[in-house]
């Protein structure tokens, strides 16, 4: 599936991620915000957790918040970072792409492609991905 242009609903999700980041920004510990929207219409947000040994990205924090609240159908996800007084959409790292593929392969992922903000299904962002043999 080719990449698609974002729409007003996607922009609303970007703003929610930006709001989570602005409320929690710390120049060392919390530099990325993320948001997921679920079939229920609810939006869950999260920020990255930085630590000396390991720190999860913002996307799994937001996804975990949705799952913790009983959501199972994630429609879209986005991550942002501060940039020049606003926010800029980030592309998910490889670990997050695998996580999204494992938990919500049909979700739209809003990402940055050379300065252009686009979206594509999680399953299309990691070609040749590892899949558990039980999952097919």
Which of 59, 73, 83, 106 is the catalytic position?
59
Q: Which residues, including other chains, have CB under 8 Å from residue 46's CB and lie 6 or more apart? A: 20, 33, 34, 35, 58, 59, 60, 61, 62, 63, 64, 65
Would residue 59 show up in a list of annotated catalytic residues for this protein?
yes
Identify any residues that bridge with 118 across adjacent strands, giving them in sequence order.
5, 111
Catalytic residues, by residue number, are: 59
């Amino acid at each position: 599936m080719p990449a698609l242009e974002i729409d007003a609903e996607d922009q609303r999700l970007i703003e929610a991620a930006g709001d989570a980041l602005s409320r929690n920004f710390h120049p060392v510990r919390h530099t990325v915000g993320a948001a997921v929207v679920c079939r229920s219409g609810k939006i869950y947000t999260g920020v990255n957790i930085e630590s000396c040994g390991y720190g999860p990205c913002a996307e799994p924090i937001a996804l975990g918040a949705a799952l913790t609240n009983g959501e199972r159908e994630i429609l879209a996800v986005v991550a942002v970072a501060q940039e020049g007084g606003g926010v800029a959409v980030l592309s998910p790292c490889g670990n997050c792409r695998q996580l999204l593929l494992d938990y919500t392969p049909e979700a739209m992922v809003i990402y940055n492609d050379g300065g252009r903000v686009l979206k594509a299904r999680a399953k299309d962002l990691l070609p040749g991905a590892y899949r558990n043999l039980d999952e097919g």
